A and B are shown apart, each in its own frame.
Chain A
Amino acid sequence: DTAVSQTPKYLVTQMGNDKSIKCEQNLGHDTMYWYKQDSKKFLKIMFSYNNKELIINETVPNRFSPKSPDKAHLNLHINSLELGDSAVYFCASSQAGTGPLNTEAFFGQGTRLTVV
């Protein structure tokens, strides 16, 4: 049973289109994240949500809009896709907090987005 699952795993789309990536976790975690891995393999956080509330927004363009309908789901919607958006997008979850409650992040398998 997959702990953090993302769909789709691969996404090829044309410039200007709007697309969504879905993420679900069955670990009972309070916090979910979106990370972007670029072509050089560099991973950087985009957003984090804690109990459906946006906690971190790391200067991501407004074309990216996360949505968390409940604490087990965090979707990423991207408007007006650009060539530079091509990357692997990872969803993750953790039972995060301060001090000893901060635990490891569990990652989904990633979604490879290719904009043509």
Chain B
Amino acid sequence: AQTVTQSQPEMSVQEAETVTLSCTYDTSESDYYLFWYKQPPSRQMILVIRQEAYKQQNATENRFSVNFQKAAKSFSLKISDSQLGDAAMYFCAYSPYTDKLIFGTGTRLQVFP
């Protein structure tokens, strides 16, 4: 079965510092997508970053970058120069080529001034 594990229920970081959120997944597929979604208190699910498994290069989006280790089935999110607005639940998600997202249990990120 395809599963996604986020082992850090909560993380905290000081403003302007860097934090890394962990995610591992289990699959027997070779082609798939991985995502990080952010859910602030407003409840809206916002895509942060996406990685295609067939690409070796790690995805980056401004202050957000991933460390994708396909052999280890690991997909961590690094947030640089953390801002107060980054405080939210972060969900790692796996998508096979069957049109659904399989989510991890989430990591609550707190940002302190």
A residues with a Cβ closer than 8 A to B are 31, 33, 35, 40-45, 48, 50, 55-56, 88, 90, 92, 94, 96-99, 102, 104-107, 109-110, 112
Contact = CB atoms under 8 A, between A and B. Distances in A.
A108 B95 CA distance: 19
Contacts of A112: 43
B44 interface: yes
A104 B35 contact: yes
Nearest to A31: B99
A43 B50 CA distance: 18
Contacts of A31: 99
B103 A104 contact: no
A51 to B, nearest CB: 12
B99 A48 contact: yes
A33 B50 contact: no
A74 to B, nearest CB: 13
A98 B97 contact: yes
Contact of A42 (B47, B95, B97, B106): B106
A56 B99 contact: yes
Cβ-closest 9 pairs across A and B: A107-B45, A96-B99, A43-B103, A98-B97, A45-B100, A110-B43, A104-B47, A41-B106, A109-B44
A107 B39 CA distance: 11
Contact of B43 (A45, A55, A109): A109
Contacts of B100: 33, 45, 48, 56
Nearest to A107: B45
Nearest to B37: A107
Nearest to A110: B43
Nearest to B102: A45
A40 B99 contact: no
